[in-house]
Amino acid sequence: MGSSASKPETVFHGQTPVRFSSDLLTTLENSSESDSTREKALELHIQNRVAAELRRLEERESEILASLEQQQQQDVVGGVVGEEAGEQTLDRNKVNRELEALRERLQELPRVRELEKEMSAARKSVVQCLRKNETRPLDCWKEVEEFKEQTRRLEKAFVVRTVGREY
């Protein structure tokens, strides 16, 4: 900032004098191109290349998607052929059964649950501490850690109830 340069300027003094032709000096002085215009041109060039690459990737993605959809239609229309296709069908059936079992478990869960006493007490203590220490919220780290621990415990219990096993 200010009038001083941001980088230290290094000057090399050669033993032989450097002379430029008057044509080169005239061309440089009359050139409308500056550092900022070169920078803008480079930025525009980079943006164009990125856009072209994105278009190429989107085209490739759509080709892959179309081929997968076509293959899927052929599998559905043509039926299941060979041992590998039979194994895939068994895997699909197994996955569908597991999904259905998970859906049933989720339907059994109550939608709105009241917080446990420990969790609501930890929440209240954090709120009270933050209100008491408005200008120094970092003093409430113990209450926040307790709240986090209660949250972890409830999340773990939820996962066990939902999935049927610990993570």
pLDDT band at 113 (very low <50, low <70, confident <90, very high): low
Q: What pLDDT, on a 0 to 100 scale, did the predictor assign at position 53? A: 92
This prediction's pTM? 0.34
For the chain, give every domain's residue range. 112-167
Which tens digits make up the pLDDT trace of 5-22?
567 778 777 778 778 888
Buried b (16+ CB within 10 A) or exposed e, 81-115: eeeeeeeeeeeeeeeeeeeeeeeeeeeeeeeeeee
